[in-house]
Chain A
Amino acid sequence: MADEQVTLTIDDQTVSVPKGTKVVDAAKTVGIDIPVFCYHEKLGPLGCCRMCLVEVEKMPKLMTACTMDVGPDMVVKTTTPKVEKAQKGVLEFTLLNHPLDCPVCDKGGECPLQDNTFKYGPGDTRMEFHRAENLKMGPLSPVITLDRERCIACQRCTRYSEVIEQDSALVMHNRGFNNEVGTFNNESYDTRFSGNVIDICPVGALTNSQFRFKARTWDLTNSDTLCAHCGCNCNMTLGTRTNQFMRIQARPNDLVDDGWICDKARWGYDFLESSNRLKEARTLPDGGTMLFSSPTTQDAAVRTAEAIRNIVAEHGPESVGFIGSPYGTNEELYLYQKLFRSGFGTNNIDHKVYADSPGLPIDHYDVSDIETSDLVLAIASDPTEELPILDLRIKKAVTRHGVRLAVLNDQATLMDKYAALSLHYDIGADGKVFSALTAAISGEGKADVKNTGIKADQLKSLVEMLRAGKKITIVYNPAALTGKSIHGLNQLLAMIKNIPSVECGAIPAAPQTNAVGAMDMGILPDYYPGGLPVLDSESIKQQWGENAPTEPGLSALEMIERAASGKLKALLVYRANPVVDFPGGKKVEEALRKLELLVVHDMFETETAKLAHIVLPSNGPGYDDGTTTNIGGRVQFRKGGLKTTNPPDWKIISLMANALNEEGDRVNYITSFSVTDEIAKKVPGYGEISKRSIKKEGATREPPANNNGSGFEAMDSPSPNADALKLRIANYLFAHDKILDASSQLAHQFQPSIVHLNKKDAKKLKLKDDDDVVVVSGDVEIAAQVEISDRCNPGGVVLPNISDEQGVWGLANDRDGVTWVEIRKV
């Protein structure tokens, strides 16, 4: 087992490492550098480049340190004349056809070939013949440039494609003397994780087209930061020069990302300089209430606070509300809830349109627990599109650690291919499935699978798998559940925990960057930070003062309803775009238009910002510092990197708070960490979080207590007519939205609007592939093309959200149940 230690000697140093470690990695632990090209610790041994030759006592020939396991009492020497001669020889061969164009090569300065040549190489070459001439620069994809002359055929990139991404899209053609890296039929290499090959290429053969010839690597200012696109919170390095964005690279943190980032992380940062950004504060020029003209951001913040306070004074605290964003940092969200609760006295605070509450009835597992589990149960989650690095982690667990995967979903996903058992329930039947599964595990009540699309024996197989599990990780996407079925899921989780001899935990895998943090920070109408229920008035008054509101507030959707009926007067929307992302479409817009005061604090000119009376610019990721909590409950620091004259959001929010306070009560935070320190004091579970504790790998926060004790009963949603189908809105990683706008590097990944229909329904509706249709619900019509597949069970359709313009959420008229749609041919 991994615990067994082996002791050996490398260059006269004694090294103790776990059995199975390769000599090259063992040497690294004592600071001995054995040069490599083809070896990469995440890819495992190959031994094709011969760079890592070492001498081992009692072995007649030189050995490759990257393929050799450590052995007890092994004596390894890495600096003998024999080794040095071999290293020189190997490098001379490696450099035979390598153009020495380092002065113009983007890899220069961070190139293993360059470094190894300086350190171990010959000063000269005996090569007298013409060097091979190959493609000097060509697009491997719209974002990766391939220089075949520089390639040393180490196969890191092709093995990455095979071992890590597991789609073998990048391969070695013409194996042998003329081998070259390529794709099928010279197609573009555009997968979801293609960019990692740039980081692992040990030469300048694969380079980032965006960064090409932009700057020398040693001139960059590198900020260690996090990706802000999804709940994985992968670690990355933001390279800037003269305060301009240059590039993004992976920054390995095995506990979070295992060393990889997806292409959205690498190339999805054009928004930093998007023309659609809100650069300054503004007020509605005409119509509405003309509050004041051309304000500074600071001014606008103060006036916003005063305007909301005036409305509170006139109509009461229940007349104002806050819709936050699961994309904000913990600091920003914490300060906003504090402003609305302590400053305006309301609990009308929310950040989501699906049902969920803080805390889990079982342990909150970290992402790395997936690898040490023996069973992973993925529920309603599509990691490939929602949390890409989770997709890689699950694939790795299944294929390399022998973890079994069970899938329970209403749509087919890429995970099915890796699943030992994959059950597809009917869209909207999630609640019933959870109840049936709970009953089947407990043995009490009837495990009723009627009208779920799952057969009784399938359910039985799943129960058997769960019963046989030793350590089970349940990954679920709360945002993909319908109605209140999250409560049914919580009961199921509690039931799994009760299975004797099972150790289990869950990862709530909502796609948004800080979905976990937003719940923890109490951006909820019924919970204060740390999962403290508003009804627990005693604890609240103790923690938050006598005046803290203890009446449950309105949810985001209720706020929109109240705005429509004129009861809600003022709304502050922080980095959210309800007009596009909330169910209801036009109705949301009409409701927001009725508000006396709509303040939008956002990075972009969104459809919602266009309606706002006051607009406050938000710098967001890349500029502002803050912490976020990932799906595994790990809190990490997201450093800004770029500078701007606009104040950071935490400052804007504290300006608002201070505008309401008497001079003595004003709080002046110095950095974002001053807010983090306050969070540590005020938010249960975050006590250990500090600048220091999260510095290296982040730190997991204590999960809040679980409060979902309430009973849950699944309900049927009756079909309005015979041709109606249940709608599942799916996620697409590269959706064309405000983040990936038309000028994005990833624009080639945008997809057309496609509605996925089951064969049975297509036959019934007389539709065939590529038919142009509209998906209709009420008076909303979304144009789409038909694709017939078994992506969902009969009776449903899957419609991926591919752009803001498509506006799929306009179809969803009722988030509390199932949305029924009709498909009409155009």
Chain B
Amino acid sequence: MFAFSKEAEEKIEKILKKYPEERKRSALLPLLTLVQRQERHVNPDAMREIGRRLDLSPAYVQSVCSFYTMYSSKPVGKYLILFCVNISCQLNGCDVLLAHTAKKLNIEIGGTTNDMKFSLHREECLAACSGGPMMRINDTFYENLTAAKIDQILDSLD
């Protein structure tokens, strides 16, 4: 069974106050984000719970959830690496760097390390084209990447 943590409940209270009662469905993305942060994925139980609170069908919650790459259906590692593969990064050689990262972590693209530390996902544009190639790890953007820089960033995370 899924339950929001105490901190999350406090946040939900604040979030729901932002929207009029009849438009409370607007809180769907913030709530999904809370679940993703808390559980590192969004499972069906959580979708049901969100649906119950916002008066939405669980199917609708899932349809929204499955659109956004910020939400995953399987648990992701402590550090979620979203590697931009859109055009600017592509032109600047992101493919090689992505392959390098996967090799370094010894996982498939889309996979998670056995110690649940890193997950590596492809991502479409993250709106940082001026700094490509780039990746996002949790809430931080890392730009103008090189293989050496990636090694150093990954090694610095514990």
Which A residue sits closest to B45, measured CB to CB?
A185
Nearest chain-A residue to B55 (Cβ)?
A417
Q: Which of A166-174, A697-705, A743-751, A792-800 contacts B (4 or more CB under 8 A)?
A: A166-174
CA distance A565 to B130 in the complex (A): 96
Interface string of A145-186 (1 = CB under 8 A from B): 000000000000000001000011111111110000011110
Contact between A185 and B62, CB atoms less than 8 A apart = yes
Q: Top 6 closest A-B pairs, CB basis?
A: A171-B63, A184-B59, A168-B57, A184-B58, A175-B67, A168-B60
Complex Cα spacing A170 to B63, Å: 9
Closest to A169 in B: B59
Answer yes or no: B82 CB below 8 A from chain A CBs: no
In whole angstroms, how far apart are the Cα atoms of A723 and B100 in the complex?
74
Interface residues of B (CB under 8 A from A): 44, 47-48, 56-63, 66-67
CA distance A610 to B63 in the complex (A): 53
Tell me, in angstroms, the Cα distance from A167 to B62 when the chains sit together.
Answer: 14
Whose C-beta in chain A lies nearest to the C-beta of B65? Answer: A173
Closest to B63 in A: A171
* Residues of B close to A162: CB separation below 8 A: 60
Residues of A within 8 A of B44 (CB): 184-185
Q: How far does the alpha carbon of A172 sit from the alpha carbon of B61 in the complex, in Å? A: 11
Residues in A whose Cβ lies below 8 Å from that of B60: 162, 168, 171
- Known interface pairs A184-B47, A185-B44; A170-B59 also in contact (CB < 8 Å): yes
Distance between Cα atoms of A168 and B63 in the complex (Å): 10
Contact present for B66 and A173 (CB under 8 Å):
yes
Which of B56, B61, B62, B67 sits near A176, CB closer than 8 Å? B67
Q: Give residues of chain A (657-704) contacting chain B, Cβ–Cβ below 8 Å.
A: none
Q: Which single residue of chain A is at the shortest CB-CB distance from B48?
A: A184
Nearest chain A CB to B58 CB, angstrom units: 4
Q: List 23 A-B contacts (CB under 8 A).
A: A168-B56, A168-B60, A169-B57, A169-B59, A171-B59, A171-B60, A171-B62, A171-B63, A173-B62, A173-B63, A173-B66, A174-B67, A175-B63, A175-B66, A175-B67, A176-B67, A182-B59, A184-B47, A184-B58, A184-B61, A184-B62, A185-B44, A185-B62
Determine the distance from Cα of A763 to Cα of B57 in the docked complex, in whole angstroms. Answer: 31
C-alpha gap A174/B48 in the complex (Å): 18
The docked-state distance in angstroms from the alpha carbon of A563 to that of B59 is: 55
Interface magnitude class on chain A: 10 to 19
Q: Is the CB of B57 within 8 A of A167?
A: yes
Residue of B58, B59, B60 ringed by the most chain A CB atoms within 10 A: B59
Kindly list chain A residues whose C-beta atoms are within 8 Å of the C-beta of B66.
Answer: 173-175
> Known contacts A184-B44, A185-B44: does B57 contact A172 (CB below 8 Å)?
no
Most buried by A among B47, B56, B66: B66
Cβ-defined contact, B59 with A168, below 8 A: yes
For residue B62, which residues in chain A have a CB less than 8 angstroms away from its CB? 171, 173, 184-185
Q: How far is the CA of A167 from the CA of B59 in the complex (A)?
A: 9
Distance in angstroms between the alpha carbons of A507 and B58 in the assembled complex: 35
Measured between beta carbons, the chain B residues less than 8 angstroms from A182 are 59, 63
B63 touches A172 (CB 8 A): yes
Give the nearest-CB partner of A189 in chain B.
B59
Nearest A residue to B59 via CB reads A184
The answer for the CA separation of A174 and B57 in the assembled complex, in Å, is 16
Say yes or no: B57 contacts A184, CB within 8 Å.
Answer: yes
Most chain A CB atoms below 10 A, which of B48, B56, B57, B63? B63
Name the residue of chain A whose CB is nearest to the CB of B51. Answer: A184
A175: chain B residues at CB < 8 Å are 63, 66-67
Given contact pairs A173-B63, A185-B62, enumerate 4 new A-B contacts (beta carbons under 8 Å): A168-B60, A171-B57, A171-B63, A174-B66
How many Å from the CB of B45 to the closest CB on chain A?
A: 10
Q: Which of A283-327 contact B (CB under 8 A)?
A: none
Give the shortest distance, in Å, between B12 (CB) and chain A (any CB). 21
CB distance from B142 to the nearest CB of A (A): 26
- Nearest chain B CB to A422 CB, angstrom units: 16
Contacts of B58 in A (CB 8 A): 184-185
> A162–B64 Cα gap in the complex (Å)?
14
- Within the complex, what minimum Cβ distance (angstroms) separates B50 from chain A? 12
A124 to chain B, nearest CB (A): 32
Interchain nearest-CB distance for A494 vs B (Å): 36
Residue in B closest to A170 when the chains form the complex, CB atoms: B59
Specify which chain B residues have a CB less than 8 angstroms from the CB of A185 in the assembled complex: 44, 47, 58, 62
Whole-angstrom distance between the alpha carbons of A176 and B69 in the complex?
A: 12
Q: How far is the CB of A261 from chain B (nearest CB, A)?
A: 22
Task: Enumerate chain B residues within 8 angstroms of A174, measured Cβ to Cβ.
Answer: 66-67
In the bound complex, CA of A99 to CA of B31 (Å):
40
Q: Bound complex: CA of A596 vs CA of B61, how far in Å?
A: 64
| Min CB gap A321→B, angstroms | 51
Q: Pick the most buried of A172, A175, A185: most chain B CB atoms within 10 A of its CB.
A: A185
Inter-chain CA distance A176–B66, complex, in Å, is 10
Report the minimum CB–CB distance from B39 to chain A (whole Å): 16
* Cβ–Cβ < 8 Å partners of A184 in chain B: 44, 47-48, 57-59, 61-62
The residues of B that contact A168 with a CB separation of less than 8 Å are 56-57, 59-60
Residues of A496-514 whose CB lies within 8 A of B: none
Bound-state CA distance A172–B57 (Å) is: 13
Residues A347-397 near B (CB distance < 8 A): none
Docked pose: A184 CA to B66 CA in angstroms: 11
A185 and B61 CA atoms in complex are apart in Å by: 11
Which residues of chain B are within 8 angstroms of A170 by Cβ–Cβ distance?
Answer: 59
CB-defined contacts of B47 to chain A, threshold 8 Å:
184-185
Assembled-state Cα–Cα distance A162/B48 (Å): 17
Nearest B-chain residue to A175, judged by Cβ = B67
Q: When each residue 171-211 of chain A gets 1 if its CB lies under 8 Å from chain B and 0 otherwise, what string results?
A: 11111100000111100000000000000000000000000
Are A183 and B59 in contact, with the CB atoms below 8 A? yes
Complex CA distance for A162 and B63, rounded to whole angstroms: 13
- Nearest-neighbor residue (CB-CB) of A173 within chain B: B66
A170-B47 Cα distance, complex, nearest whole Å: 15
Least Cβ distance of B4 to chain A in Å? 20
Which chain B residue has the least Cβ–Cβ distance from A185? B44
CB distance from A48 to the nearest CB of B (A): 15
Determine the distance from Cα of A66 to Cα of B78 in the docked complex, in whole angstroms.
Answer: 48
Task: Name the residue on B nearest A187 (C-beta).
Answer: B59
Tell me, in angstroms, the Cα distance from A139 to B133 when the chains sit together. 44
- B56 surroundings in chain A (CB, below 8 A): 168
Task: Determine the residue in chain A with the shortest Cβ distance to B68.
Answer: A175
Name the residue on B nearest A176 (C-beta): B67
Shortest beta-carbon distance from B137 to chain A in Å: 24
Task: Report B112 CB to chain A, min CB distance, Å.
Answer: 20
Q: When chains A and B are docked, how far (Å) is the Cα of A809 from the Cα of B23?
A: 44
Instruction: State how many angstroms separate the Cβ of A384 from the closest Cβ of chain B.
Output: 16
Residues in A with CB closer than 8 Å to B48 are 184
In whole Å, how far is B54's beta carbon from the nearest beta carbon of chain A? 12
Interface residues of A in 722-773 (CB under 8 A from B): none
Determine the residue in chain B with the shortest Cβ distance to A166.
B57
Name A162's closest neighbour in chain B (CB-CB).
B60
Nearest CB in chain B: distance from A276 CB, A: 37
Min Cβ gap B57→A in Å is 4
- Closest chain-B Cβ to A14's Cβ sits at a distance in Å of 43
Contacts of B57 in A (CB 8 A): 167-169, 171, 184
Which B residues are in CB contact (< 8 Å) with A176? 67
CA distance A174 to B67 in the complex (A): 5
